[in-house]
Amino acid sequence: MALSKRIAVSAGGLVIRAVGGQAEIVVGRRKRERDGYVWSLPKGTPEEGETREETALREVREESGLEVRILSYFDAISYSFVRTGERIEKTVYYYIMEAIGGSFEQYDKEFDELRWVRMDEAVRLLDFQTESGLVQRAYDALTRD
């Protein structure tokens, strides 16, 4: 029997800051039933009527506790997975962001842990190859300038 197919869209942020000449990015760790913990970037699904930008801002605020602003659109990643007999083809749109307020203590507990990590370390820490590659491209763009 063939799997049914669904298209899904999400938006999130690469929240970046400079500390001592090093670029750092926000990453979070969450528990997953099937494979323990995974490190990933803040992202989520749009609410009805939201633009991608509004979704990215809200999801980063909810998942990290940080108030952020978008500096620019960066890139999208696409991947597919199977859940409950359905193949989901997902695209996640990412924006470069900076924190302008808030704190990790104010997040919605979707992540078990949040931290700022150097971008070059985040490339190795992130569990999903698509996100790791995205952060590597952003890091390369920042270090070229």
**Residues 59-83, mean pLDDT to the nearest whole number:** 95
The Cα-based distances of 3 to 87, 88, 89, 90, 91 in angstroms read 6, 10, 12, 15, 19
**Residues 73-79, mean pLDDT to the nearest whole number:** 96
CB of 40 within 8 A of CB of 126? yes
More confident residue, 144 or 54: 54
CATH of the domain at 28: 3.90.79.10
**Mean pLDDT for the chain overall:** 93
Could you tell me where the DSSP H helices lie in the chain? 52-64, 119-125, 129-144
Q: What is the pLDDT of residue 1?
A: 63
**Residues 51-79, mean pLDDT to the nearest whole number:** 96
Number of compact structural domains in the chain: 1
Q: Which domain holds residue 64?
A: 4-144
- pTM, two decimals, is 0.91
Q: What is the pLDDT of residue 2?
A: 76
Q: How much of the chain, in percent, has pLDDT values that exceed 90? A: 81
Q: What is the pLDDT of residue 41?
A: 97
